[in-house]
Amino acid sequence: MATIAVIGTLDSKGEEHAFVANLIKARGHEVLLIDVGTGSDPQVTPDVTRFEVAEAGEIDLPPLIDKQDRGECVVAMSKAAPLLVSRLVAEGKIEGIVSLGGGGGTALGTAAMRALPVGFPKLMVSTLASGNTAHYVGTKDIVMMPSIVDVAGLNRISRMIFTRAAGAICGMVEAEVDGSCAKPLIVASMFGNTTDLVNKAKDLLEDAGYEVLVFHATGTGGRTMEALIESGMVAGVLDVTTTEWADELVGATLTAGPERMDAMSKAKVPAVVAPGCLDMANYGERDTVPPELEGRNFYIHNPQVTLMRTNAEECAQLGKIIAEKANANEAPVSIMIPKKAISVISAEGQPFHDPVADEALFAGIRKHAKVAVEELDAEINSSEFAKACADKLLDLIAGSK
C-alpha cells in the first residue's frame, strides 16, 4: 500500500479531485489530498490546507487572497507547492502524485511535479495536454494526459478519463523497478560532431563497470542532463560537448540556459569537460538567420539547421565561461583540450577550420582555469582523445571516493 498525493485547486475542482481520490482508495492505497486553491472555500476537506502549503513557502496567504488577484495567488502557490511536495517525498510520506486542471491548475500541478526526482510517479490530467507542454514538463518525466473535456464537473467523458487517470497513477506506483543489476551512472553530452568521441569513451567506461547515459546537446538535452546530475544519481560527468554555451552566448537556438554546467558543482560530482563543438552555434533554415550576422562563416548542416562558426572574440569568452564553470565544482574536475579539432568540421581542411579562433578558445581556458587542464595534439573524435577522457574520468571518480 502506498500513499498518493492528489493535489489541485479544491475550491473549483474539488469534486473532480475527490472522485480520483476515492478511486485510488478503492485500489487499496492511501491518499493525501492537498489544496492549492486560493478562491472560495474548498468543496471537499483537504488533508493539507492551502495555508499549510503557503506556510511551506513562507508565504502569508490571507493578504494575497484578500487582494483577489488570481495571477498573483497562482504564482505564490506555484512557489510554495514544490517545496511542500519535495519535503513530503524526502520524508517518505508520498509515493506518487496526480493532479487535474485547466490552465491555472496545470501550472500549479506541474510546478509541484517538476520539483520531484526522475522516476517518481507524476501524472497531470490537463486541458492543455494536446499542445506544446514543454514549459509544463521541463526536464522531468511528467505524464501529461489529455482531459478531452474541460475539468469542470463529472460527466460521461470526464468520469471515464478520471477513472483511467486513477488507474494510471496506481499502476505507476505499483510497478516495481528492478535495481538489482544497477551500475553506477555516468552521463555524457554528445552532438553529431562528437559522436565518435562519446561512443569510444562510452565503451571504455562501460568496460570499467559503469552505465553511461548519453544526452544530445540540443538545449533540452543539456537541461535534462543537468537535472539528472543535480538529482544525485550520477557518479561522474563526461561533459565533452559544451556547444550549448555557444548558442547561449550568441543568442542562437539550442541554448540550455545560463545554468548549463552548474549541476556538477551543486551535486559535487567528478567531471571531465571538453570544448566540444564550441566552434558552432545553431540556427534554423538559412533564410531565418538574423540579417546582422550576414558575412559570418556558415555551414548548412541540413535544410533545417544552419551552423555559424564562432569567431575569436566569442571563443575567448567561451573559454572563460567553461573554465569558470569548471572552477566552481568542489569535486575533482579536469578540462581536456583536443588541439587539432574541437569538432568534425573544425579539423584542417574542413569548413570551420579556424586556428585563430581555436587558439582564442584555448587561451581563454588556460587563463581562467584553476582546475587541471590537459592538452592533447589530437582531434576530438580520435581514439587517443576518447581514451584520455575516459581514463581521466575514471581516475577522478576513484580519487573522490
Give the pLDDT of residue 273.
98
**Which pLDDT band, with edges at 50, 70 and 90, does 177 fall under?**
confident
Q: Are 340 and 347 in contact (CB under 8 A)?
A: yes
Going 102 to 145 to 225 to 219, the CA torsion angle's sign is: negative
Query: CB neighbours (10 Å) of residue 127?
Result: 19
Q: In one letter, which amino acid is 397? A: I
**Which pLDDT band, with edges at 50, 70 and 90, does 182 fall under?**
confident
Mean pLDDT to the nearest integer, 196-211: 98
Q: What is the CA radius of gyration of the chain?
A: 24
Encode pLDDT of 259-274 as tens digits.
999 999 999 999 999 9
d(CA 310, CA 307): 9
The DSSP secondary structure of 173-186, one letter per residue, reads HHPPP--TT---EE
The DSSP secondary structure of 150-202, one letter per residue, reads -SSS--HHHHHHHHHHHHHHHHHHHPPP--TT---EEEEEE-GGGHHHHHHHH
Q: Which sequence spans correspond to the domains of the chain? A: 3-174, 185-400
Closest CA to 366 of 320, 311, 317: 320
Residue 231 or 310, more confident: 310
Superfamily for 185-400?
Answer: Uncharacterised protein family UPF0261, NC domain (3.40.50.12030)
Encode pLDDT of 51-93 as tens digits.
999 999 999 999 999 988 888 999 999 999 999 999 999 999 9
Q: Are 181 and 43 in contact (CB under 8 A)?
A: no
Cell numbers 560527468 correspond to what residue?
237
DSSP label of 331? S
Give the pLDDT of residue 263.
97
Superfamily for 3-174?
Answer: Uncharacterised protein family UPF0261, NN domain (3.40.50.12020)
State the average pLDDT for the chain. 96
The pLDDT of residue 44 is above 90: yes
Encode pLDDT of 353-397 as tens digits.
999 999 999 999 999 999 999 999 999 999 999 999 999 999 999
Give the pLDDT of residue 38.
94
Cell numbers 569538432 correspond to what residue?
343
Q: Are 331 and 268 in contact (CB under 8 A)?
A: yes
**CATH topology of 3-174 equal to that of 185-400?**
yes
Encode pLDDT of 322-358 as tens digits.
999 999 999 999 999 999 999 999 999 999 999 999 9
Give the pLDDT of residue 231.
86
331: left (phi over 0), alpha (psi -120 to 50) or beta: beta
